[in-house]
Amino acid sequence: MLPIAYSEFAQISRNRAVLISTLMPLAVSAFFIYRRDQFTAIGSTGYVAAALVFTIGAFSLYTTAVTTLAARRQDLFLKRLRSTTAGDATILAGLTLPVSAVALFQVLVVLGVFAAVVGGPADAALLVAGILSAFLMMLALAMATAGLTGSPEQAQVTTLPVSLGTIGIATWVGITGTEDLTLLKRLLPGGSAAELIVTSWNGGVPLAESLPLLLPALGWVVVAIVLALRLFRWEPRR
């Protein structure tokens, strides 16, 4: 897995389109932090944190992973890897490890800066649960979307519904809370993860009260994995 990951990281550093998709969230995050008072006024500190996490997850992780997998399938690199002794899980883990590591590093840096400016989260465990569930869901959805994406160029279009949709859901939850339409918001993809992040920064909740949020968040991880197993393709369409 590590040799595949090292090779993929070298490819990412040379790909201008992929570099843009990983650097753009940092610019957006800087804008959110700079204008934090305005965004906090319409939502909360937790809302800004959720927006930062989902912006990085949607672009640095999800969009970059879809583009990467589509490119590797188009140039038959996936097919060649399958002819080696490496298993399917090892191949996918190696290819997605670099983008996952970059996205997690970005989240740590951005939230670290945000915490230094406004103060840290009230419940770090909830924050970690929200980030991990959101990123695992986005990574599995990236594999599923890659199966429907014929080329890296098409990824600019095929990734829009999920990337913009999850950011929109996180924004809706962050601004309006979950006092109204609670079940709907928690059952939407990323809704529970967004609420976990918002709650972790705004005050936290006891473990027993966090279970209604953790279950839908983990449920979407399972759904995304099932979609990835059904939709992902190793060879180009003929």
Task: Convert the pLDDT of each residue in 110-140 to its tens digit.
Answer: 999 999 988 888 888 889 999 999 999 999 9
Q: Are 200 and 127 in contact (CB under 8 A)?
A: yes
Domain ranges in the chain?
2-231
Q: Is 186 left (phi over 0), alpha (psi -120 to 50) or beta?
A: alpha
Q: For the whole prediction, is pTM greater than 0.75?
A: yes
Which amino acid, residue 161? P
Q: What is the mean pLDDT of residues 33-60?
A: 86
pLDDT of residue 10: 67
Q: What is the mean pLDDT of residues 60-79?
A: 89
pLDDT at 152 over 70: yes
Q: What is the mean pLDDT of residues 11-19?
A: 65
pLDDT at 62 over 90: yes
pLDDT of residue 82: 83
Residue 14: pLDDT band (50, 70, 90) is low
pLDDT of residue 171: 93
DSSP state, 153? T
pLDDT at 56 over 90: yes
Nearest one of 137, 142, 114 to 21, comparing CA atoms: 142
Contact partners, residue 58, CB within 8 Å, separation at least 6: 25, 138, 162, 163, 164, 166, 167
